[in-house]
Amino acid sequence: MDFNSLSVIVPVYNEAESLEELHREIDTGVAALGVDFEVIYVDDGSQDESWVRLLSLHERHPERVRLIRLKRNFGQTAALAAGFDAAVGDVIVSLDADLQNDPADIGSVLEALSEGYDLVSGWRAKRRDKLVTRRLPSLLANALISRITGVRLHDYGCTLKAYRRSVIESVNLYGEMHRFLPALAVWGGARVTEKKVNHRPRRHGKTKYGLDRTLRVLLDLITVRFLLAYSTRPMQVFGRWGLYAILSGIVSGMWMVFRKLFASEDITGTPWLYLSIFFILGGVQLIGMGLLGEINVRTYYETQKKPIYSVREYVARKEPGSGSWTS
C-alpha cells in the first residue's frame, strides 16, 4: 500500500442490529492490511438504539472507533461529508452500515487505488436487491449519469468507494451529490476507476430508499451537468440562450414588418407581434440571469465554505489544526 493511514467512514441510520457484526468484519478485514486505521461512524439522526450500540463500540475500542452524532437525519450525503471532514487518514473508504457492502472488499479497492488511481468506485455486479424497485431504476440511472457526465461507470450508487484525501478536500457535497463524486473528481483532474465488489442480501431492518429517490437523483444530475460544464461561466449557458431568444424575436419582428410592407397585412394583435416581444424580453431576462450567475460564482469562490450538516456531539473528536483526535 502506498499510504500510511486509513479512515473508514460509515454513515448510520437505524442500523442497530447490524453494527456489532459490521465492526467485527471491518476490524478483521482492515487489520490484515497492516496499516494504521480509524473507523468513523456517523449517526445520521437514528431513532433506534444505533447510538447506544455505537457508544458501546467506542468504549471497547477507543483507540480506533470515532463517533459523530448529527442533530437530525440530514441524509447520506451530509453524513458522509461529516465523516470526510473528521477523517485524518491519507486514504478514506466509505461503506454502508447495512452489511450489504462487504468489508472484505476494502482490501481489493485499496489495491486498485495503489495502481495510481485517485478514486476507486465499487461495482455491485451481482446485486441482491429487488428488480423493479431497486435494480432496474439503478440500471437506468447509472446509464443516464454516465451519458450526461461522460464518466462511464456501471454503479454510481455503491457507497463502497476509496478516495485519496486530495480528492475529498477538493469537492463540496450537497443534496444527493455523494453518488456523483466520481464525476466531480474527474472534473477536478482525478483518475477514477471501478472495481467489482460483493453485494450481500440485507440481513436486518429495511431499506431506506425507494423510487422517490430517483426524482431527487435526476434533479441533482441536472445540477452536476451544469457544474461540470458551466459552474465557473454561467453566462455561457444563460447568455447563449438569451442571444438565441433575442435573435428569434428580431427575426419574428422582421417577418412581421415584411408582411406589413409587402402584403399590406394588419400586424396589430397578430401572433408575430407577441412572439417578437416574448422572445426579446425573454432573451434580456436570460442574459440578466447569466450576469447574476457570474456575480454569484465570484461570491461563492471568494467566501468561506460552510458545512451542510450540524453536529450534536463528538466522541473522540479531531481538534482543529491538530490532525489528531482527542477524547
Q: How many domains does the chain have?
A: 2
pLDDT tops 70 at residue 308: no
Please list, in sequence order, all residues whose beta carbon lies within 8 angstroms of the beta carbon of residue 156, skipping any fewer than 6 positions away.
121, 141, 142, 145, 146, 179, 180, 182, 183
Helix (H, G, I), strand (E, B) or coil at 108: helix
Give yes or no for residue 213 having a pLDDT over 60: yes
- Taking the C-alpha atoms of residue 106 and residue 108, their distance in angstroms, rounded to an integer, is 6
Report pLDDT for 265: 74
Cell numbers found for residue 110: 485499496
Q: Check whether residue 211 and residue 255 sit in a common domain.
A: no
The domain that holds 226 is classified in CATH as 3.90.550.10
Other beta carbons less than 10 A from residue 228's beta carbon? 17
Note the residue count of the chain.
327
55 and 107 share a domain?
yes
Helices 235-263 and 271-302 cross at an angle (nearest 10°) of 160
Look at residue 327 in the predicted model and tell me its pLDDT: 55
Among 148, 169, 168, which residue's Cα sits nearest to residue 94? 168
Clarify whether residues 194 and 49 are in a common domain: yes
Cell numbers representing residue 150 in the block: 461522460
44 and 93 in a single domain? The answer is: yes
Neighbours of 227 (CB within 10 A): 18
Domain hosting residue 165, numbered range? 5-231+308-326
DSSP character string of 160-183 = -EEEEHHHHHT----TTGGGGHHH
Q: Same domain for 34 and 121? A: yes
Is the sign of the CA dihedral 127, 173, 225, 220 positive or negative?
positive
pLDDT tens, residue by residue, 102-140: 999 999 999 999 998 999 999 988 887 777 666 787 788
Instruction: Collapse the DSSP code of 318 into the 3-class scheme (helix H, G, I; strand E, B; otherwise coil) and give the result.
Output: strand
Please list the alpha-helical segments (H only) found in the chain: 19-31, 50-60, 76-86, 106-113, 136-149, 165-169, 181-187, 212-230, 235-263, 271-302
24-79 tens-digit pLDDT:
999 999 988 889 999 999 999 999 999 999 999 999 999 999 999 999 999 898 99
Task: Give the best-scoring range by mean pLDDT among 217-226, 250-259, 267-276.
Answer: 250-259
Question: Which of helix, strand or coil describes residue 6?
Answer: strand
DSSP string, 228-288: HHHTT-THHHHHHHHHHHHHHHHHHHHHHHHHHHHH----TT-HHHHHHHHHHHHHHHHHH
pLDDT of residue 222: 75
Longest CA–CA separation in the chain, Å: 92
**How confident is the model at residue 65, as a pLDDT?**
96
Do the beta carbons of residue 70 and residue 312 sit within 8 Å?
yes
State whether 126 and 272 are in the same domain.
no
pLDDT at 235: 78
Same domain, yes or no, for 22 and 51? yes
107 with 93, same domain: the answer is: yes
| Any domain includes 301 | no
Residue 116 located in a structural domain: yes
43, 73 Cβ separation under 8 angstroms: no
* Calpha distance 49→285 (Å, rounded): 53
What pLDDT sits at residue 324?
A: 54
Q: Which three cell numbers stand for residue 48?
A: 433506534
- Are residue 224 and residue 240 in the same domain, yes or no? no
pLDDT value for 59: 95
Rounded distance between C-alpha atoms, residue 300 and residue 239, angstroms: 20
